[in-house]
Structure 1
Amino acid sequence: MSSFSIDDLKRILREGAGATAELDGDILDASFDDLGYDSLALLETGSRIGREYGLEFEDTAFADVETPRDLVGVVNAQLSAPAPRG
């Protein structure tokens, strides 16, 4: 099972939403607002994560995400969830 790290998130933020704020250092508990990322940037980030990791997120998956720590947790929960049976 693979996992999603803060370094993975930083890379995707830089590639997709652009480096609107300094992402070096400990940003796990900084709010996305403080980092310069709005809800549209987070939706784009979620879409990029989904494509790269083969995940599908519910429409509300990122509704309560306020910090990078929250987002990493949502992605890792999805990665560790059992695959749906078809």
Structure 2
Amino acid sequence: MSDTTLSEFTLEDLKRVLLAAAGAPDGAGLDGDILDLSFEDLGYDSIALLETVGHVERERGLSLEDSVVAEANTPRLFLEFVNGTVPVARAS
């Protein structure tokens, strides 16, 4: 791979990974404005988040802090954790 800079991890990326890693939610679903809903309200428990973290780490080639599952209780916070670790590609 010639360019190791990854683009920003977006809400759409998170939705895709949640579905791939943990399946369809039991709660509110992933449609609409979900950035500030808790993962619990969306139907995902801590095990689902562990699966999601593992999937993101493998897909993006990074290592997230253990605190992500405990502290990132909303999609917005999860994205902030991931994007704080992943170098963001900048437009020239």
Name the TM-score class by shorter chain.
Answer: 0.7 to 0.9
Identity, % of aligned positions: 52
In structure 1, stretches of 5+ residues that fail to align are: 82-86
TM-score of the superposed pair, with normalisation by structure 2: 0.81
1:39 equivalent to 2:46? Answer yes
How many residues were matched structurally?
A: 81
1:72 equivalent to 2:79? Answer yes
In structure 2, stretches of 5+ residues that fail to align are: none
Task: Report if the CA contact (8 A) 2:9-2:82 is conserved.
Answer: yes
TM-score of the superposed pair, with normalisation by structure 1: 0.86
Task: Report if the CA contact (8 A) 2:72-2:78 is conserved.
Answer: yes
Aligned position for 2:70: 63
Q: CA RMSD in A?
A: 1.5
Q: Which runs of 4+ in 1 moved over 6 A?
A: none
Q: Could you tell me how far apart the structure 1 residues matched to 2:40 and 2:73 are?
A: 8
